[in-house]
Structure formats: structure tokens, C-alpha cells
Structure 1
Amino acid sequence: MEFVLAFTGSRGDVQPGLALGVQLRALGHDVTMAVPPNLADFCRRAGIPTREFGADTKELLDSALVSSELKSANPLTRLRALARLTVRDGRRTQTELLELTAHADALIGGSVGQERLLNVADARGIPYVPLHYCPLRRNSVASLLPLRAAPGRAHHLSWTALEQLTWLATRSAERELAADLGLPPPTSPPATRIAQRGVPEIQAYDPVLFPGLAQEWGHDRPLVGFLDLTPQTRAMIGEDSTDLDDWLGAGSPPLYVGFGSMTIADPDRLARTFTEVADALGLRLLVAAGWSEFMAGESSDRVRVVRAVDHATVLPRCVAAVHHGGAGSTAAALRAGIPALVCWIGADQPMWGRRLDALGIGVGLPVTRLDRVTLTRAVRELLRPERAVAARRVASAMVAPHEAVRAAAALVEVSARTPVGAGPYRPSRPSRGGVR
């Protein structure tokens, strides 16, 4: 079969999709990755045919729309920004995806930009298979609320409210985008329309983190586990961290710090905070500078700064991790069996911080509250022996990466055979190559 895997966002949004694409290609299918221009080479180095689509993620994250309006304290400002983000470059990305899916049997993609992916799939008359990295639909287990003891119904109502508010903010933009493809105007939120199509929404995170959620959602939203690249694929993309071996082996396990694609406000102050706290606690620091190049040039005997690391091989050699709470970073620290401090900025990050806290394996803290006192207190909490024991226990219960990827690929294969209505752009000839 022929699959197009389209992902917008940061590397954390693209990498699980790439892991799935590598597995589908190994099974004999034709696979094309469609990703932002700044992440295209990353996918190509993995040996997967890749096309650029949409906006450059780094430019988008640095724009006022995302860095300011979408993070505004005013809810109305955030909703207006969300509406603008929905339609931003919408026509261009839909046109690009329409071309890419001319012979596709299914379109796979994340929750970012799901409106456009769903439109293109409907226009082509093919299934859209969602890949989610955290709970995004109504449920009574995972909370949008910062209340650990909130009843399940409160969780459910919070998701319902978010879904309806988002729909009210984006409805007009969605109808414009649908009309461009000759589709009828949508009358319900994307979550409702996706559920009506009978295709499972693959939950690419571990069921051990949300007890009871797999049972509540059943086959509609199967929890397969976190998707990750194989060591072979990491070597192909040039993420071998063997150059760190000597430094890691020359002293005690370091504290890992990495904020991924997040933009750091006042990075110089934050760098001083980390070095002062590490010195006071007698810790070495391993810093992954990421897109923001945080602490670049700070390397010394006790501080090592690199652009990126192979989480799978490096994090197990660290005493604990400090990260922004992206699903990928969270998964990496969990698999390594080390406690983590989530210094969250927004989106799903606070949820991950609360989950780690509830499981006794981490702490959540808004990055705006990060100073010498709060960081010292949080890191000391991570260094408590019982935190390390709990982290290792959770790691041992997680789904292995290869099992998660295989399960996701099997669901994609089944979903591609799910009958859907023929859309206005469905090609008359069958897909090329691959197995059926």
C-alpha cells in the first residue's frame, strides 16, 4: 500500500511519525514523509522519501503569533490566535497535500493541523489515521485541570469545554478550508468527524502513565506506547553520541538539561541558575542546546553542552533530567528510568508534569517560576532515592519501542482498508507498488 505521513510542528511532532514510516517501509509499503522544510533533511537521512510542506517550524515558533499571542494570559487572545493559526498557510498546505496524496491509500498525521489533513483525506476519499502523543479527547482519567484530586466528571467536562471553545474559534476558518476542496461545510468539531469515520485514533504514549484510559477508550483509541527510532535509524541520521562516552565516564552521572525546540526567555539568567545550582549540589551538567542553542559555549570540566544527544543511550547514564515536557523528552526520560523535572511552557507540557508527580517520578514547574530557590528544591526532590526506585519501576512496565511501532503499523494497515466515501479528488487508478 501507499502511505503519506504528514506532520507539522517541531522535531518532537515529526520523529514518532518517522519511526512509524520506517516500520511501514520495512513491511514493504510505499512511504512518503511530508514535513516542514527545516525537518526534511532529518527525515531524508533516515532513508525515507520526503517532501517539504507547510511553514518552517522554527520561524513559526519565533513568530509573534505563536511566541506571544498563543501564549497570552487572555483566553480570547489565545482563541483568536488559534483561529489564525488554523488558516495560516492553510490553502497552500492543503494544495501541497492534495498533490502528495494522489495515489495514497491512507493519510497519517498528528493532531497539529488535523483540520487540513482531515479535509484532504475526505477530498481524496481515503482514511485519515490520527497519531496522538498525549490524551486529546474527552475522558475521565487525564486532566486538563491542575487539580490532582478532581473527579473524573470534571476531567470530562474540561475536555468538552476545550473542544467546543476551539470549535467556536476555528469554525469559520475550517469552513473556508473545506470549501476550497469542494467539501460541504463541517458542522461539528474535528474530534466528532474523525470518530464518525470509524478509523482508530492511535495513541502513541504508554498506558502505564494513565491507568484506566485504555479500558475507557477501547479499540477506538488504542494506547500502543511511545514510538521511537531504532538505533540503526539514529545512526543513519547522525545521532551517535559515542563522542560523549569519555566525558560521561569521567565522573558522576550528570544532570541532563534540554528544552528541545522551545524558545527560552532570558537564556543567560537561566544558564547562570543551572550552573549555580549544579555547583551547589555537586552535580555535573549535560546540556542539549536544541534549537535555542541554550548555554552554547558554556562547556567546562563540569558542564558539557552539545546540540543534541541520543536519548536512548545517554539518559540512562544521567542521574535525572530537566526538560520542557514534550512527549518525546518525557518518553525518553521515562524509558531511561530516571526522575525528571518538567519545566513547562504550555500545551500538553503541564499535563506531563502532573503525571510524573502523581506517579512519584518527577516534578512539574512552570518555567516562569524557575529560579535558584525553586530549581534547587526541585532537583533535591529528584535526587531522593525513592524517586529513582519509582522511575525504574515505571520504566520496567512500559511498552518496548519496537513493540509500540509494530502495533501502530498494524493499526495503520487495518485502517487503510476501512471503507470511506469516495471524495471529489479520488484518482481512478490504484496505488503503485507495495503489498496489499
Structure 2
Amino acid sequence: MRVLLSTYGSRGDVEPMAALAVRLRGLGGEAVVCAPPDREFARLLADAAVPMVAVGEAVRPLVTGTRPPPAGDFAARTAAIIDAQFEQIYTAATGCDAIVATGTFPVAAAARTAADVLGLRYRHVSLQPTLLPSKHHPPPGRPGRPLPPGAGGNQARWDHDAASMQALYGDPVNRIRVANGLTPVGNVRDHVLTARPWLATDSILNPWPATPPVIQTGAWTLADQRPLPSPLEAFLAAGPPPVYIGFGSIPVRPRHDFARIAVGAARRHGRRIVLAGGWADLAPIDDRDDCIAVADVNHQALFPRTAAVVHHGGAGTTATAAAAGTPQVVVPHIVDQPYWAERVARLGIGAAHRGPALTTRSLAAAIETALRPETRARAAAIASEMRTDGADTAARLLLDP
């Protein structure tokens, strides 16, 4: 069986697809990943020996502002993205048996349309829960489509969301469908997500209610075999466990102030610091030897050797820290990050900072919570309950006739 895995977003959208591709290969299947052409994603997939088809524009320059945003209004940009992605995914999926899609909605819509035109099995996977309709949480905001006054409860809000998604994405999707002999769809959101989407999250970190039904596979984790860099190994060996500070693909601003506050907060507790540059290019604020800067390193190897992990609350980073049994401080910025911050706090495995606006005092207080012995004990207990076979579960579902 040959499967095309389509994604578009940050590393947290690409790495799980690499994990699924590796597990499919181990079970006798084949997989190719359509992903943005960022060098770090190409390297990630190459290291895993997973074939990649580069689609769309590189994500990092768009997120960090080093490349101007695309020209045109939202509708024109959306139509152009769906058209281009459909053509690329359609070509890449020729000869495949199935398509699995995640990432930004226009790209997932293009993948679903390609699957329909080619007559392929299709599965949509969400790597976090907040974008899936449920009466238990509200929908996210949509570009230019605010909720009307008095929108009611969550179900009414999700009904409005479906209408908003149809207005935003229905026309370009239906133009492609009609041009290829297919009937238009009246609810493009639910058509793309499917009646029973997959949810690639751990059920301990993210317990999903019984309704609406999803197939919760567990998180898709790519085993990282990379050794830690020699300077980092030496730093870890030279003293007590440090605090890790990194914000992944979030371009925190102003970055020097962010680094100054974060490093200062850890120093208030007498802790050494591992500072990850990330897409914000964070750097040490002075030349003291209690702080080391790192680029892309193996979190699975590093996090168990730290006292706490301070991060942005991406689904992947949250799950990796939780699996390591290491207390966390989540500083949420966008999308699902407030949800993961709330879950970390509720589970007692760390602290949730209130939003992205930091002060040394506020972050130091959150780190204090994470460093308590009872927090570490709780983090270790939760780690022992987490599943590690999410990608295997998904691969077997795909391969099951």
C-alpha cells in the first residue's frame, strides 16, 4: 500500500507525518510526505529516509516576517493556495492508495479534493483537539468572520463556524470539484474533517469526550536517535540539571527582552539555562557560563536531563516533555497553546503562564511551581501512563483492508 501524507505548517505539523511514514514502512507499506520546502523539514524527512515532495512556500520566512506576505486579498490568496496545492498533491498522489491530511485548512481541503478526484481513501488527522467541532469547546476565530452578538452556546458557534468555513473556502474547492466531474459540497469543513476524524494526541494529556466520535490514536512520535552536541553534553555534566527555555516556531518579540526575562527568571532560582534559539533566534544575554545556546537538538534526549521545560505549548513539545516526566512551564501564544497550558496545570505536571506577556517576576513564579518536588513526582506518574504507540495504531488502521 502506498500512502501520501499531506501537511503544511511548522515542525509540529511535519514531524508526526514522518513518524507515521516510518511506521508504515516498518509494516510493509510505502509513504511519501508533501510538506513545505523549509530546509529543516527536508532534513528531518531525509534523516528518517522518508521521500518528500515540496509543496507551497517555505513557512519559516512567512512566520518570522523575513519574506513579505502574499499579495492580494484573503479570498484571492486562499483560492491560489488551494489551486496550487491541489495540482501538486494530485500529481504526487497518482499511484497511491490513500491520502492522510493535516495542517492548515486550505491545504487539507486541497488534499481531500485530490483524494476525491482520484478515488482514493482519505483520512483527516488533527494533531490537537481545539479545531475539531465539539460542544465541549468553542471554535477558533476565522479570518474576517467574527461570531455574531449573542451567538449562543458552543453548538451554535460551531454551526456559525461551518457557515464561515463554507464562505471562506467553499467556492475554490467546488470550482475544482465541478471541473473534475464531482458535485459541489455544501459544508466544506465537515467534508474535509470527515465524519470521524483521527486525533493524534495522548488520551491522558487530551481526554476526548465520547461525542462527537473521533478515532484517538495516541500521539505520533518520531524516535530521535541524534546524539546531543558535545558542548551541550559537557554543559549538562558540569552542574545540576538546567532549565530548558525555547519557544519553537513562535517568533517572540522583542526577542532580546524575551530572552532577558526568561533567563533572569531561571537565574532567580539559581538554575542554569539551556536556551534554544528557535524561530525567534533567541540568544544569551551575556557571557556568563550558566547559559548555553542551542539550535535544533534532540528533545527526547535532553528533556529528561533538565529540571523544567519552559516552552510555548505546542502539542509536540508538550507531549515530549510530558513523556520525559519533566515538569513544564507553558507560555501560550496562539491556537491550541492555551489548551495545552491549561491541561499541564490541571494535571499538576507544571504551570501555565497567563498569556505571552512575560515579566521576570511572573515567569519566575511559574518556574517555582514547576520546580516543586510534588510537581516532578506528578510529572513522573503521568509519564508512566502515556502511550507510545500512536503512529503504530494509525499505520495499522491504514493498512487494514
Note the alpha carbon deviations across 1:347-371, whole angstroms, 9 max, x for none.
1111111111222223333554211
Supply the AA of the counterpart residue of 1:241. L
Deviates more, 1:357-366 or 1:277-286: 357-366
Compared with structure 1, are the counterparts of its residues 91 and 211 closer, same or farther at alpha carbon in structure 2 (3 Å cutoff)? closer
Secondary structure at 1:304 match in 2: strand
CA contact (8 A) 2:9 2:36 kept: yes
Shift of 1:32: 1.2
Secondary structure at 2:216 match in 1: coil
Compared with structure 1, are the counterparts of its residues 130 and 361 closer, same or farther at alpha carbon in structure 2 (3 Å cutoff)? same
Shift of 1:271: 1.1
Shift of 1:177: 4.5
Please, which of 118, 121, 126 is the counterpart of residue 132 of structure 1?
126
Secondary structure at 1:3 match in 2: strand
Compared with structure 1, are the counterparts of its residues 211 and 56 closer, same or farther at alpha carbon in structure 2 (3 Å cutoff)? closer
Note the alpha carbon deviations across 1:238-289, whole angstroms, 9 max, x for none.
x321522221121111111111111111001111112222222101111221
Shift of 1:87: 2.9
Note the alpha carbon deviations across 1:146-189, whole angstroms, 9 max, x for none.
xxxxxxx9555554444443333333343345445443322113
Whole-Å separation in 2 of the counterparts to 1:302 and 1:296: 10
Aligned positions of 1:182-221 closer than 5 A? 182-192=181-191, 194-196=193-195, 200-211=196-207, 213=209, 215-218=210-213, 221=214
Residue 224 (structure 1) aligned with residue 223 (structure 2) = no
Secondary structure at 2:262 match in 1: helix
Compared with structure 1, are the counterparts of its residues 173 and 298 closer, same or farther at alpha carbon in structure 2 (3 Å cutoff)? farther
Shift of 1:383: 1.7
Deviates more, 1:39-48 or 1:6-15: 39-48
Compared with structure 1, are the counterparts of its residues 133 and 194 closer, same or farther at alpha carbon in structure 2 (3 Å cutoff)? closer
Secondary structure at 1:90 match in 2: helix
Compared with structure 1, are the counterparts of its residues 92 and 168 closer, same or farther at alpha carbon in structure 2 (3 Å cutoff)? closer
CA contact (8 A) 2:18 2:33 kept: yes
TM-score, normalization by structure 1: 0.80
CA contact (8 A) 1:116 1:177 kept: no
CA contact (8 A) 1:114 1:190 kept: no
Aligned length: 383
Secondary structure at 1:252 match in 2: coil
Please, which of 395, 400, 410 is the counterpart of residue 396 of structure 2?
410
CA contact (8 A) 1:248 1:254 kept: yes
Aligned positions of 1:337-352 closer than 5 A? 337-352=325-340
Whole-Å separation in 1 of the counterparts to 2:322 and 2:260: 27
Whole-Å separation in 2 of the counterparts to 1:391 and 1:289: 26
Shift of 1:41: 3.0
CA contact (8 A) 1:224 1:407 kept: yes
Supply the AA of the counterpart residue of 2:85. T
Map of 1:268 onto structure 2: 256
CA contact (8 A) 2:310 2:331 kept: yes
Supply the AA of the counterpart residue of 1:168. A
Map of 1:60 onto structure 2: 62
CA contact (8 A) 2:163 2:187 kept: no
Map of 1:150 onto structure 2: none
Whole-Å separation in 1 of the counterparts to 2:2 and 2:109: 22
Residue 6 (structure 1) aligned with residue 1 (structure 2) = no
Supply the AA of the counterpart residue of 2:111. L
Map of 1:240 onto structure 2: 227
Whole-Å separation in 1 of the counterparts to 2:367 and 2:315: 21
CA contact (8 A) 1:5 1:31 kept: yes
Shift of 1:299: 6.3
Whole-Å separation in 2 of the counterparts to 1:341 and 1:2: 40
Whole-Å separation in 2 of the counterparts to 1:342 and 1:264: 14
Supply the AA of the counterpart residue of 1:225. G
Secondary structure at 2:275 match in 1: strand
Deviates more, 1:380-389 or 1:168-177: 168-177
Q: Structure 2, unaligned stretches of length 5 or more? A: 141-151
Secondary structure at 1:33 match in 2: strand
Whole-Å separation in 1 of the counterparts to 2:239 and 2:286: 18
Compared with structure 1, are the counterparts of its residues 393 and 157 closer, same or farther at alpha carbon in structure 2 (3 Å cutoff)? farther
Q: Which has the higher contact order (CA 8 A, sep 6+)?
A: 1
Secondary structure at 2:280 match in 1: coil
Whichever structure has more helix as a proportion of its residues is 1
Deviates more, 1:159-168 or 1:333-342: 159-168
Map of 2:81 onto structure 1: 89
Shift of 1:33: 1.5
Secondary structure at 2:391 match in 1: helix
Whole-Å separation in 1 of the counterparts to 2:325 and 2:155: 31
